[in-house]
């Protein structure tokens, strides 16, 4: 673990004016709060916050961010409180620590409506101070670097989350180096065989051709020296995941893959960038369609660079990136460049873009002025905005419109104005009429053709790529169908209310809408007509006693089976524990009545030559009470609180635990037999699904003890 003085020295390398006492105080406080806590590897837990702080020093971040890194787990995992952190370190640091805690607790990979709403609120909160993202990304990077000490299924879960959420987020924030390392670390967990194979092929290639990086680097340096251009040249092999992704996207074998080497030329001035480009294209053959000028058309995160691919030494394709020193700082640090320090002062980089403006515009763009926004749509829109590459198209007047890769003329129309998108009937691309589903490319000029009376079509939802267009189309379709749905909803409400002897009124519908958090009576009727809301939900909101009455009409367990004689009683076989909803058969016993088995129970084999004892039975249809026992074998992680959490989850599924027996204990896992009382087979299915979704549950299965006798 890095000593506090060594950490302060790392900060002083770029910020001699650092508040060393503040860092010492935070270091001591964090160490004290985490005392007695250990990581899965056995190391003291505080080594993790210190490592996160060290990662952030590489980005030359301010004291507040470094202190936040040291304290980022205190509020969540220790006895520390927001008030205590605020009192000791100030309100700003307390808010940053609290922001990281909220981000940690948010299940970003879960697109449920509640999580979508949290994601929406979090994005709006992060627009105030994006340093919480920097701390969280550094936190995830260190966790991925040390992931081998975690359980296998936990590794896979964290790696998938990293690949789907944190790596694209890092890329979107301009920290490409972090994105590449996160992707490769996740790739190492998710597909180790593929990664190992690529590394072996790469080693074999180096043996065959030698290390070409220093050779090509020397060629470029000599070229620049001849023209008296002052620049630095660096070369590297691309990471295994980057190579594998290109192989997958282009369906190529490793031997056919080109440009697995990348080179950077860092110049002093912007004019030198274009001079270097000319020299490289004059010296080697440029590969068509592999040229991008992000200096004249910067990315939204401030990234500027020229990219070109050429056939270099021995015909090998290599990618060359050309940019100035200031552009390089932004390309390496991304959002961190906005807070980075040099010689004790905030570095003023003209190319650094404040990503808070991007987040603020995103939150504003998808905020619903009517207050009835669809949070799942917002989550979809956020992901579309975050994880898409950009294309740049032009209006007929020459204005630039930025769109995600795969965008169509309809997306272009909505990017200009919602009114233009709604009335779009056609488009011309570079002067030629094209279908509306055409995918736009960089540099194309797009002219939108509109007509009065035109309305968005349902099929457009499958064509467009931007969240803005999808949201506008859905809103228009809802408005267009609203009158029809309201009329249909009125009829459905009338029938439902009359069925229970009540009369539907505007006041009743307004009251139901308020109770359900929907809105006025028209919105209730529209949702009834569009099947988004059931009439029974409206009735239950107004008349809870009706719901209680329905719940009281349960089938008595002693009368739950059809097909028995008037004097016959029954009981369920212990060997298969059949549940209502499953196919069953009865076996008669003298003095024992009828024992019912599941139709596929192996115990029935011994009665095959006694057909006179078989009775054809069926469960009654309807609502059964939770009175039928079934046995589950649940394998869970051996961590504090896990068993209690699983028992609580079972209770939340309205299943009662009647017995519990530990059958296998290991240092990391243990298995337990849980006997639960269920209503029917569907209840069993819901419970199994809920348990399987838990990250702490390694395996869950229904057990039918064939050793038991009927």
Strand pairing report for 231-237 and 446-450: unpaired
Q: Which residue has the tokens 């104005």?
A: 417
Are the C-beta atoms of residues 149 and 191 closer than 8 Å to each other? no
CA nearest 169: which of 183, 158, 157, 185?
A: 183
The full 3-state SS of 293-362, as one line of letters, equals ECCCCCCCCCCCCEEEEEECHHHCEEEEEEEEHHHHHHHHHHHHHHCCEECCEECCCCCCCCHHHHHHHH
Q: Which residue has the tokens 């949070």?
A: 375
Is residue 76 part of the annotated active site? The answer reads yes
- DSSP helix/strand/coil, 70: helix
668 vs 686: CA distance, rounded Å = 27
Q: What crossing angle do the helices spanning 176-190 and 131-145 adopt, rounded to 10°? A: 40
- Catalytic choice (77, 219, 332, 380): 77
Phi/psi of residue 584, each to 5°?
Answer: -135, 165
Distance of CA 293 to the CA centre of its chain: 31
Is residue 98 part of the annotated active site? The answer reads no
C-alpha distances (whole Å) from 632 to each of 580, 650, 661, 710 are 17, 11, 10, 19
CA nearest 465: which of 409, 383, 406?
A: 406
The answer for 314, left when phi > 0, alpha when psi is -120 to 50, beta otherwise, is left
Are the C-beta atoms of residues 468 and 461 closer than 8 Å to each other? no
Burial of 357 (0-12, 13-18, 19+ CB in 10 A): exposed
- DSSP helix/strand/coil, 505: coil
One DSSP character per residue, 142-157 reads HHHHTGGGS-HHHHHH
Are the C-beta atoms of residues 564 and 557 closer than 8 Å to each other? no
Q: What is the DSSP letter of 5?
A: H
Outline where DSSP puts E strands in 430-537: 432-434, 446-450
695 vs 139: CA distance, rounded Å = 20
Are the C-beta atoms of residues 184 and 239 closer than 8 Å to each other? yes
- Catalytic choice (76, 117, 554, 675): 76
106 vs 100: CA distance, rounded Å = 10
524 vs 419: CA distance, rounded Å = 28
CA nearest 47: which of 146, 150, 132?
A: 146
- DSSP helix/strand/coil, 460: helix
The two three-digit tokens of residue 344, written as one number? 């004790």
Are the C-beta atoms of residues 18 and 63 closer than 8 Å to each other? yes
Active site residues: 76-77
């Amino acid at each position: 673990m890095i000593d506090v003085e060594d950490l302060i020295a790392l900060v002083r390398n770029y910020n001699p004016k650092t508040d060393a006492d503040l860092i010492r105080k935070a270091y001591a406080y964090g160490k004290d709060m985490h005392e007695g806590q250990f990581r899965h590897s056995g190391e003291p837990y505080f080594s993790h916050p210190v490592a996160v702080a060290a990662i952030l020093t590489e980005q030359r971040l301010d004291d507040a961010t470094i202190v936040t890194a040291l304290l980022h787990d205190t509020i969540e995992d220790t006895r520390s409180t927001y008030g205590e952190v605020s009192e000791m370190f100030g309100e700003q640091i307390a808010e940053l620590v609290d922001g990281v805690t909220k981000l940690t607790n948010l299940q970003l990979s879960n697109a449920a409506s509640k999580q979508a709403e949290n994601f929406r609120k979090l994005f709006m909160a992060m627009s105030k101070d994006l340093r919480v993202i920097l701390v969280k990304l550094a936190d995830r990077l260190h966790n991925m670097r040390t992931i081998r000490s975690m359980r296998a299924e936990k590794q896979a879960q964290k790696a998938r989350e990293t690949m789907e959420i944190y790596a694209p987020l890092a890329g979107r924030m301009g920290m490409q180096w972090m994105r590449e390392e996160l992707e490769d670390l996740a790739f190492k967990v998710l597909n180790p065989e593929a990664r190992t194979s690529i590394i072996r092929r790469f080693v074999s290639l180096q043996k065959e051709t030698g290390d070409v990086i220093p050779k090509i680097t020397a060629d470029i340096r000599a070229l620049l020296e001849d023209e008296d251009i002052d620049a630095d040249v660096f070369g590297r092999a691309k990471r295994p995941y980057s190579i594998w992704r290109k192989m997958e996207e282009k369906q190529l074998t490793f031997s056919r893959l080109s440009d697995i080497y990348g080179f950077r030329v860092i110049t002093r001035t912007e004019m030198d960038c274009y001079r270097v480009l000319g020299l490289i294209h004059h010296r080697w053959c440029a590969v068509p369609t592999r040229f991008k000028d992000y200096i004249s058309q910067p990315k939204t995160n401030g990234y500027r660079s020229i990219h070109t691919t050429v056939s270099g030494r021995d015909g090998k394709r290599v990618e060359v990136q050309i940019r100035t020193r200031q552009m390089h700082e932004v390309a390496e640090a991304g959002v961190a460049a906005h807070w980075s320090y040099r010689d004790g002062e905030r570095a003023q980089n003209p190319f650094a873009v404040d990503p808070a403006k991007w987040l603020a515009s995103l939150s504003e763009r998808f905020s619903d002025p009517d207050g009835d926004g669809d949070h799942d749509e917002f989550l979809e829109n956020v992901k579309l905005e975050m994880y898409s590459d950009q294309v740049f198209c032009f209006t007929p007047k020459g204005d630039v419109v930025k769109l995600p890769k795969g965008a169509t003329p309809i997306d272009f129309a909505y990017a200009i104005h919602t009114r233009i998108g709604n009335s779009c009937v056609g488009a011309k691309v570079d002067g030629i009429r094209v279908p509306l589903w055409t995918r736009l490319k960089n540099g194309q000029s797009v002219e939108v053709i509109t007509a009065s009376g035109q309305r968005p079509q349902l099929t457009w939802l499958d064509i467009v790529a931007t969240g803005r267009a999808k949201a506008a189309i859905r809103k228009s379709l809802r408005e267009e169908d609203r009158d029809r749905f309201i009329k249909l909803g009125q009829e459905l409400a009338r029938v439902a209310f009359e069925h229970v002897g009540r009369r539907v009124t505007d006041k009743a519908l307004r009251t139901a809408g308020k109770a359900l958090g929907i809105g006025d009576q028209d919105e209730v009727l529209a949702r009834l007509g569009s099947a988004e809301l059931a009439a029974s939900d409206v009735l239950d909101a107004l008349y809870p006693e009706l719901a209680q009455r329905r719940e009281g009409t349960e089938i008595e367990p002693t009368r739950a089976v059809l097909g028995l004689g008037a004097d016959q009683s029954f009981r369920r076989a212990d060997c298969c524990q059949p549940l209502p909803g499953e196919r069953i058969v009865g076996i008669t016993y003298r003095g024992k009545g009828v024992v019912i088995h599941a139709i596929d129970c192996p115990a029935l084999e011994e009665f095959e030559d006694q057909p006179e004892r078989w009775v054809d039975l069926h469960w009654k249809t309807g609502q059964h009470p939770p009175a039928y026992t079934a046995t589950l074998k649940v394998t869970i992680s051996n961590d504090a609180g896990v068993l209690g959490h699983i028992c609580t989850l079972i209770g939340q599924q309205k299943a009662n635990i009647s017995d519990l027996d530990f059958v296998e204990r290991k240092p990391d896992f243990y298995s337990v037999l849980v006997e639960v009382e269920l209503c029917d087979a569907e209840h069993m299915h819901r419970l199994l699904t809920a348990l399987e979704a838990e990250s702490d549950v390694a395996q869950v299965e229904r057990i039918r003890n064939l050793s038991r006798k009927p």
